[in-house]
Amino acid sequence: MLGGERATVIYTMIETCRMNGIDPQAYLADIIDRIADHPANKVDELLPWDWVPQVRQ
């Protein structure tokens, strides 16, 4: 993936968050923090319109 393509994906994610009333910085920080341990068959739970912030303890 080229730099321009990566930027397009990131900008699209940010705008999707905004359109769904989600703080993009909070969303991305949470997703980056937990994506490695998240089951691949449940990746749809991490999409902005289905996202539920993880409660930190």
Rounded Cα distance, 39 and 26, in Å: 21
Number of structural domains the chain divides into: 1
H helices of the chain, in order, are: 3-19, 24-34
pLDDT band at 57 (very low <50, low <70, confident <90, very high): low
Task: With respect to residue 17, please indicate whether it lies within any of the assigned structural domains.
Answer: yes
pTM for the full predicted model? 0.78
pLDDT of residue 56: 65
- Tell me if 40 sits within 8 A of 25, measured CB to CB: no
Task: With respect to residue 57, please indicate whether it lies within any of the assigned structural domains.
Answer: no
pLDDT in tens, 3-51: 899 999 999 999 999 999 999 999 999 999 999 999 999 989 999 999 9
Task: With respect to residue 55, please indicate whether it lies within any of the assigned structural domains.
Answer: no
| Residues of the domain holding 21 | 3-46
Instruction: Indicate whether 54 pLDDT > 90.
Output: no
Rounded Cα distance, 23 and 29, in Å: 10
